[in-house]
Amino acid sequence: MAKINFGGVEENVVTREEFPLEKAREVLKEETIAIIGYGVQGPAQALNLRDNGFNVIVGQRKGGASWDKAVADGWVPGETLFEIAEATKRGTVIQSLLSDAGQIAAWPTMKEQLNAGDALYFSHGFAITYKEQTGVVPPDNVDVILVAPKGSGTSVRRLFLAGKGINSSYAIFQDATGRAKERVIALGIGVGSGYLFETTFKGEVTSDLVGERGVLMGALAGMMEAQYNLLRKRGHSPSEAFNETVEELTQSLMPLVAENGMDWMYANCSTTAQRGALDWKNRFRDAVAPVFEDLYDSVESGNEARITIEANSKDDYREGLQVELDEIGNSEMWETGKQVRKLRPKK
């Protein structure tokens, strides 16, 4: 484990150089890794682990689309694909990768099948951090660990196939065997992490929920809508409004920021853009700072967890969700986006 200085703060970081894949395989050579859930993170982590040479099985409710997807991905019913209870029983590392609501529903079944010395693995701190609300309270005789890739399952798999890796955090909630640390690092390397940085279950879920509701999704979508609507209101065409709001951001600027940082971006744009961005940056920062304070307080208090659990527990949640998603997808802004994407030059 290396100490890396991030902006003047030293953090514990693990890289592939100090913990290579061969070492991860050695640590987990006697383990059977059971991936529970084949929806968002499940496929990527299961396939990456399988491709990296680990012993992997999948647990999924039979008869649904996710079961069929697992079969299509080469998991064999009765050999490497099982119902959730059976996969949990067979595994020594149980990766609980169901949705947060799915974990709550499946926990009574999974808990019955855990054995002493097993490792219970999460990619989100939600179920454990809010255990009073979720009811997910692990027994004392299992390791409870976390590897949280900083991206969607699609990104985890794409970066793996490209020979790269996604940054992940790791945490240990309970070390029952004395092997929790080597297990969690080995699993982090196994699922394809580029590097791993240390956190806690609470730290992961708090930053994750704030990030999703903030810059990564909620704030980003809200700001896009505000700018697009303003440009349309002031007489700009849908194509012009979308290109200046979304297309240039996602296709041109963000890849460069990812490669070089925002200061580089400012230094390598026109002087007009440079001056304007620097002058307006702080106004936007100061305007949204109170909203972020409210957001963090809502997450830290458990209010966001309560809202999520209550919403996801409704029988008609998926139908209601689709209505909300259709409202976005069918809006002028994102209908315009569909047309703009079609016009992108083909490779």
* 189 and 246 co-located in one domain: no
Whether residue 146 lies inside any domain: the answer is yes
Predicted confidence (pLDDT) at residue 347 exceeds the cutoff of 90: no
CA dist 2 and 48 (Å) reads 25
pLDDT in tens, 284-308: 999 999 999 999 999 999 999 999 9
Name the region of 63 (left: φ>0; alpha: ψ -120 to 50; beta: rest): left
Q: Is residue 130 part of a domain?
A: yes
Say if 206 falls within a structural domain.
no
Task: Clarify whether residues 181 and 223 are in a common domain.
Answer: no
Q: Is residue 195 part of a domain?
A: yes
**Residues 169 and 232 reside in one and the same domain:** no
pLDDT confidence band for 9 (50 / 70 / 90):
confident
CB 31, CB 92: distance < 8 Å: yes
182 and 229 housed in the same domain: no
- 39 shares its domain with 97: yes
Both 6 and 56 in one domain: the answer is yes
**Of the candidates 153, 174, 199, which is a domain's last residue?**
199
- Whether 127 and 36 share a structural domain: yes
At 110 the pLDDT is 96
The mean per-residue pLDDT over the stretch 271-288 comes to: 95
Residues 191 and 220 both lie in one domain = no
Counting Cα atoms < 13 Å in the Cβ hemisphere of 306 gives 7
For residues 15 and 118, state if they share a domain: yes
Fill in the amino acid letter for 249: L
pLDDT for residue 199: 95
Evaluate whether 149 touches 166 at the Cβ level (below 8 Å).
yes
User: Is residue 142 over pLDDT 80?
Assistant: yes
In the prediction, which pLDDT does 175 show?
Answer: 98
pLDDT band at residue 1 using 50, 70 and 90 as cut-offs? low
Arithmetic mean of pLDDT, 307-313: 90
Residue 254 and residue 178: Cα distance in Å, rounded? 42
Question: Which residues contact residue 155 at a Cβ distance below 8 angstroms, ignoring those fewer than 6 apart?
Answer: 149, 166
User: Which of 152, 178, 199 is the last residue in one of the domains?
Assistant: 199
Please give the pLDDT value at position 306: 94
CATH number at residue 80: 3.40.50.720
Residue 269 has pLDDT above 80, yes or no: yes
Please give the pLDDT value at position 45.
97
Report the mean per-residue pLDDT for the chain. Answer: 94
- pLDDT (tens digit per residue) in 200-238: 999 999 999 999 999 999 999 999 999 999 999 999 999
Claim to verify: residue 241 and residue 185 sit in the same structural domain: no
The answer, yes or no, to whether residue 46 has pLDDT greater than 70, is: yes
Count other Cβ atoms within 10 Å, centred on residue 187.
Answer: 28
Question: Is 124 considered catalytic here?
Answer: yes
Are 176 and 275 contained in the same domain?
A: no
pLDDT at 208: 94
Confidence of residue 40 (pLDDT cuts 50, 70, 90): confident
Domain contains 62: yes
- Whole-angstrom Cα distance, residue 74 to residue 71? 5
Distance CA 184, CA 13 (A): 13
Phi-psi region of 36 (alpha: psi -120 to 50; beta: other; left: phi over 0): beta
H or E segment to which residue 138 belongs: none
Boundary (domain end) residue, out of 138, 172, 199: 199
Looking at the predicted structure, is the pLDDT value of residue 2 above 80?
Answer: no
Confidence of residue 312 (pLDDT cuts 50, 70, 90): confident
- Check residue 331 and give its pLDDT: 96
The reply to whether 220 and 159 lie within a common domain is: no
State which residues form the domain around 180: 2-199
pLDDT at 252: 92
With a cut of 70, say whether residue 49 has pLDDT above it.
yes
Which residue in 82, 71, 70, 74 sits closest to 32, CA to CA? 82
Catalytic residue among 50, 124, 213, 232: 124
Q: How many domains does the chain have?
A: 2
Q: How far apart are CA 133 and CA 191, in angstroms?
A: 29
Is the pLDDT assigned to residue 78 strictly greater than 90?
Answer: yes
The answer to whether residue 204 sits within a structural domain is no
d(CA 180, CA 302): 27
| Beta strand extents in the chain (DSSP E only) | 2-6, 9-15, 33-36, 56-59, 81-82, 93-96, 119-122, 143-149, 166-174, 193-198
**CATH (domain of 333):** 1.10.1040.10
pLDDT digits (tens, 9 = 90+) for 313-344: 888 998 999 999 999 999 999 999 999 999 99
Cα–Cα distance between 124 and 74 in angstroms, integer?
Answer: 26
Which position has the higher pLDDT, 194 or 21? 21
